[in-house]
């Protein structure tokens, strides 16, 4: 039986803490967003309007803002230079929604400023996507054939190398996300998009969201370590 991929394998314990951390982070971001979505801001400014003001103040009037389906599916698309806000954020007047919308505007500002980590992430995305798709098939084939041929060892190594690209992407993502939140909070304060007491709600939402990226990196790193241990034990 293959070692290291199914239940009963002790290496699963390596990834388990990160998986629990990721679950906690997702629950926390959802609950924090829900909490600070209940009360509208005193100004009544919608999230889309706040993002528009932040973009325009940074000379990014050409960046379009679009409504998209889903809950917290918000993102900035550097290919089309569009800021996409989810249904739960776009028309909302809450501190939570304003924080999320301005965070995505922060990515647009990064793009315009050629922020190095964002530029690097954009450049490695195609390679990381290929590596992510090939990682497990290569590793599994190598695991199955390791005792038959030295090629199996090389395939496991290739699978681990491909998986490391996905880990690299998660690593590069961290400074991009933290910096976008910093830019968002600075812009909210500078242009008075929220009152000072409301700003704390936006800050907590963005802080909770940041933990999901930390959890993703932790999960990826420990999963990579697990593959390395499985390969080493298989060879032994």
Catalytic site residues?
104
Q: Which residues pair with 68 in a beta bridge?
A: 86
CA–CA separation, 230 and 232 (whole Å): 5
What number of CA atoms fall less than 13 Å from residue 17's CA on the CB side?
8
Contact of 44 with 97, CB cutoff 8 Å:
no
- CA proximity to 216, closest of 11, 29, 51, 50: 29
The β-bridge partners of 76 are: 83
3-state DSSP assignment of residue 218: helix
Q: How many helices (H) and strands (E) does the chain have?
A: 7, 3
Backbone angles phi, psi at 77, to 5 degrees: -105, 105
Q: How far is CA 50 from CA 46, 58, 105, in A?
A: 6, 13, 9
* Residue in 183, 181, 160 with CA at minimum distance from that of residue 235: 160
Q: What share of the chain is helix, strand, coil (3-state, %, to 5)?
A: 70, 5, 20
Token look-up 């969201």 returns: 209
């Amino acid at each position: 039986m293959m070692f290291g991929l199914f239940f009963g394998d002790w290496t699963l314990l390596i990834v388990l803490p990160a998986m629990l951390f990721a679950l906690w982070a997702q629950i926390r971001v959802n609950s924090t967003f829900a909490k600070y979505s209940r009360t509208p801001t005193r100004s009544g400014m919608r999230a889309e309007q706040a993002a528009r003001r932040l973009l325009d103040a940074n000379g990014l009037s050409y960046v379009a803002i679009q409504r998209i389906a889903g809950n917290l599916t918000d993102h900035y698309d550097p290919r089309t230079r569009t800021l996409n806000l989810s249904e739960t954020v776009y028309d909302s007047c809450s501190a939570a929604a304003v924080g999320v919308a301005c965070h995505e505007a922060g990515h647009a500002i990064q793009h315009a400023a050629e922020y190095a980590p964002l530029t690097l992430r954009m450049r490695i995305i195609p390679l990381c996507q290929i590596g992510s798709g090939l990682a497990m098939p290569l590793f599994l084939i190598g695991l199955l054939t390791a005792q038959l041929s030295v090629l199996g060892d090389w395939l496991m190594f290739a699978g681990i190398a491909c998986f490391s690209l996905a880990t690299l992407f998660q690593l590069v993502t961290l400074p991009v996300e933290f910096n976008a939140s910093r830019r968002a909070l600075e812009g909210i304060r500078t242009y008075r998009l929220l009152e000072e007491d409301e700003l704390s709600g936006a800050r907590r939402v963005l802080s909770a969201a940041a933990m999901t990226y930390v959890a993703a990196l932790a999960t990826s790193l420990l999963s990579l370590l697990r593959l390395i241990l499985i390969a080493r034990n298989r060879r032994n």
